[in-house]
């Protein structure tokens, strides 16, 4: 595109020079299309000043724009880092939540196992206790029956030998009464133990 010379007698030239006194200069693309006459030093200087001002303004704006651009780039970079960290945090939180759920599930299972173990232990303790009681009762009953038989045999021997039976008679009578009473008590206990054992078997099943 051709440039245009603004001659000395051109009204536009005078207007531009007049505006320049107030600090207003031509700028932008139009400035590149205007030339002065070779001998027109005043307008030539005007164009040099206007071009320099235009370049200075653009340099200043370019510097600021680049600063903003750099800041934007840094912000974008920081935003990407933040997004990445957020993603990682969310992932970690998710894993943590899953682990917590697994731990909770394991804890519940452990609690169940513990409860079952405690129940088993209680049943075992009861079973052992009832077996011991049963043994004691059986031994006691055997002793009572043994004492009864022994006393009866002794009484029978004394009767057969014709000795005085006054003392042994009273003793045997009292002893037998006690033995029968105790026997019934023990039989009752045995029945109780058996009933309890049956109940235990039901619990175990």
Q: With CB under 8 A, what is the number of residues at the site for another protein?
A: 17
Helix (H, G, I), strand (E, B) or coil at 1: coil
Does position 76 bind another protein by CB under 8 A? no
Helix (H, G, I), strand (E, B) or coil at 5: strand
User: Contact at 8 Å (CB) between 35 and 6?
Assistant: yes
Dihedral sign (CA 13, 19, 21, 26): negative
Cα-only R_g, the chain? 61
CB of 39 to another protein, least distance (A): 25
DSSP string, 113-139: HHHHHHHHHHHHHHHHHHHHHHHHHHH
Question: CB-wise, 44 or 127, nearer to another protein?
Answer: 44
Site for another protein in 168-187 (CB under 8 A): none
Decide if residue 70 touches another protein (CB under 8 A): yes
Phi, psi of 39 (to 5 degrees): -95, 0
Decide: is 77 part of the binding site for another protein (CB under 8 A): no
Among 62, 124, 149, 153, binds another protein (CB under 8 A): 62
Minimal distance, residue 14 CB to another protein, in Å: 25
Interface with another protein includes 80 (CB under 8 A)? no
Q: Which of residues 140-159 bind another protein (CB under 8 A)?
A: none
Among 8, 32, 77, 129, binds another protein (CB under 8 A): 32
69 binds another protein (CB under 8 A): yes
| Cβ–Cβ under 8 Å, residues 25 and 50 | yes
Cβ neighbours around 193 below 10 Å, total = 20
Q: Which residues bind another protein (CB under 8 A)?
A: 1, 28-29, 32-33, 54-55, 58-59, 61-62, 65-66, 68-70, 72
């Amino acid at each position: 595109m051709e440039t245009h010379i603004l001659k000395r007698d051109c009204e536009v030239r005078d207007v531009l020079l007049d505006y320049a006194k107030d600090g207003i200069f031509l700028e932008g693309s139009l400035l590149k299309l205007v030339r002065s006459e070779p001998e027109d030093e005043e307008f030539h200087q005007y164009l040099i000043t206007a071009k320099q001002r235009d370049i200075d303004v653009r340099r200043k704006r370019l510097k600021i724009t680049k600063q903003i651009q750099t800041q934007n780039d840094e912000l974008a970079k920081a935003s990407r880092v933040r997004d990445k960290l957020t993603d990682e945090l969310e992932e970690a939180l998710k894993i943590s939540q899953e682990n917590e759920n697994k731990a909770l599930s394991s804890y519940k299972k452990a609690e169940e196992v513990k409860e079952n173990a405690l129940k088993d232990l209680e049943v075992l303790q009861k079973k052992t206790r009832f077996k011991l009681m049963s043994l004691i009762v059986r031994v006691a009953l055997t002793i009572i029956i043994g004492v009864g038989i022994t006393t009866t045999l002794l009484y029978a021997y004394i009767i057969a030998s014709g000795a005085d039976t006054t003392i042994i008679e009273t003793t045997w009578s009292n002893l037998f009464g006690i033995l029968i009473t105790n026997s019934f008590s023990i039989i009752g206990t045995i029945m109780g133990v058996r009933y309890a054992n049956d109940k235990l078997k039901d619990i175990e099943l």
